[in-house]
Structure 1
Amino acid sequence: MSKNSLTDRVVIVTGASRRIAIGAAVARRLAADGAAVVVHSWAPYDAEQRWGADDEGPEALVAELDRAVHVSLDLSAPDAPAALIDRARAAFGHVDAVVANHTRSGTRQSLEELTAAELDLTFAVNTRATLLLAQAFAAQHDDTRPGGRLVLFTSGQYHGAMPAELPYIASKAALHQLTRSLAVHLIPRGITVNCVNPGPNDTGWADADTRAAITRLNPGARWSTPADTARLVAWLLSDEADWITGQTIASDGGWSSR
């Protein structure tokens, strides 16, 4: 793909708070391909998780990129998705694509542990915010511009059972199933909608035993990396993928949780 294949495109990348994770890798790749990037983060969420926050991450990432701004917003708030679109338009005038990489995960609840509060919060962040972001993005999109793109993120729940993570997999399964309906609705306007499953991804969250187990199970004998995911996202945003829509694509080396 050409280095400048996304020149003049403006892309929002959500969930880009940690420099070693998927959102940051996607932002770097899109910037290298010529895009202006709106880097979204919400560090308080990371601070609550076992992997911790990257306190300087978003600002340092923006400093790496040619044309980029940082927006910190809690996407569990109902008005946050529209506010993110507004902030992006204020910075660059328009938004051509959204990569909805943000997620709430890491709170493991099986059926016996399940709580209404965790279900509501996980759906608010993963599903509701993504749908409202799609709505606000589509409402402002200039259909005369090329490159309208919406990329959602799911997980591996359709490959194998994840009984200890019910709020997470339920919210991600919803995005998986929404993809085709959103795609059919938006393709007449020149906006494609696709969904990415990045597979077990090496973003610093796993302990040594988990890393070894997944490496053994993966047919390619390694983990997915943020760069693997970023390459797929960059292609989906490119003009080469303008006839690819409604698809859920795994970038996982053939992984199956068995």
Structure 2
Amino acid sequence: MRMNDTVALVTGSAQGIGRAIAVRLAQEGAKIVVEDRQDADAAEQTLAQVRAAGSDGCVIAGNVGSVHDARGVVDAAVAKLGRIDVLVNNAGVERNAPFLEVSEADYDLVLDVNLKGAFFMTQAVVRHLRDSHRGGRIVNISSVHEELPFPHFTSYCASKGGMKMMVRNLAIELAPLGITVNNVAPGAVGTAINNKLLHDPAELSALLANIPLKRLGKVEDVANAVLFLASDEASYVTGTTVYVDGGLLWNYSEQ
């Protein structure tokens, strides 16, 4: 199996894409740190699925938007499982508002979780890898909106655009340590965050018209891309974004 003898920390993995990533890596032998804001039933359900996949792990709660919490999550993960080899920065939020109505609180929430959280989680894991003299893998869950405008979601686009440039910089800076850094950028995926879209036939039809493959993405589509970048098969891939969007990015037009 491709991830034997590795430990992967997946943030925001109590549901959706994060859960699918945790389970997919577990299927390939990785032990999983299920991280979420709270150690609630959903996080425990992810851990149960990790175990059902034939692996093991633990649940660690923390707010990735807090530097103190991010460092605490990494310390706790190392204490429980001995090390971290792969970090998947999956935790993310969005807020829908016209630019002129965006509140400071919503802006801070989106940037803190999506960009600041990924930045300082990565810093904490890289310090651990450096101190233990090992290379590793950093995989960020970005979005097609690191490239594609998304009216009424400007803070979200700014966070993902920042993540794109962060990856490019860190790929160069961390290469001497044997650490690769990449993004996976999903397009429209059928998860709970898109419930409104999924129940609006007209809106869904308009979106599908923009997707050359004529379907929404599945969480497994994203998880498989993460698996590749987290594995030794991607040892020569760094500083790039893998788009998992059915061709949406290159065929999109605002209606």
TM, length-normalised to structure 1: 0.88
- Alpha-carbon separation, structure 2, partners of 1:182 and 1:158: 17
Of 61, 86, 90, 2:46 maps to: 61
Cα deviation, residue 125, structure 1: 1.1
CA contact (8 A) 1:153 1:175 kept: no
Moved over 4 A (4+): none
Distance in structure 1 (CA, Å) of the matches to 2:20 and 2:70 = 22
CA deviation vs aligned residue, 1:42-74 (integer Å, no higher than 9, x gap):
259xxxxxxxxxx62211121122211111212
Identity of aligned residues (%): 31
Structure 2 unaligned segments of length 5 or more: list them.
none
Which of 108, 124, 130 lines up with 1:120 in the alignment? 108
In structure 2, how many angstroms separate the alpha carbons of the residues matched to 1:171 and 1:37?
Answer: 26
Residues 1:9 and 2:23 aligned together: no
Look up the match of 2:73: 84
Q: Provide the rounded CA distance (Å) in 2 between the counterparts of 1:197 and 1:219.
A: 17
In structure 1, the gaps of 5 or more residues are 45-54
Q: Distance in 2 between matches of 1:145 and 1:22?
A: 28
Q: Is the 8 A contact 2:70 2:124 kept in 1?
A: yes
Q: Matched residue pairs, number?
A: 241
Alignment of 1:43-62 (within 5 A): 56-62=41-47
Equivalent of 1:27, from 19, 22, 25?
22
- Structure 1 235/32 Cα, relative in aligned 2: closer, same or farther at 3 Å? same
AA matched with 1:192? T
Distance 1:181 1:159, change over 3 A: closer
What is the identity, as a one-letter code, of the residue corresponding to 1:171? S
Higher relative contact order (CA 8 A, sep 6+): 1
Structure 1 position 232 matched with structure 2 position 217: no
* Aligned equivalents of 1:16, 1:245: Cα separation in 2: 23
Measure the CA separation in 2 of the matches of 1:61 and 1:193: 25
One-letter amino acid of the structure 2 residue matched with residue 32 of structure 1: Q
Do structure 1's residue 111 and structure 2's residue 111 form an aligned pair? no
Give the Cα–Cα distance (whole angstroms) in 2 for the partners of residues 122 and 214 of structure 1: 24
User: Greater share of helix residues, 1 or 2?
Assistant: 2
Normalised by the size of structure 2, how large is the TM-score? 0.89
Query: Over aligned residues, Cα RMSD in angstroms?
Result: 1.7
Equivalent-residue separation in structure 1 for 2:158 and 2:165 (angstroms): 11
1:130 and 2:118 equivalent? yes
* Contact 2:146-2:158 at 8 Å conserved across structures: no
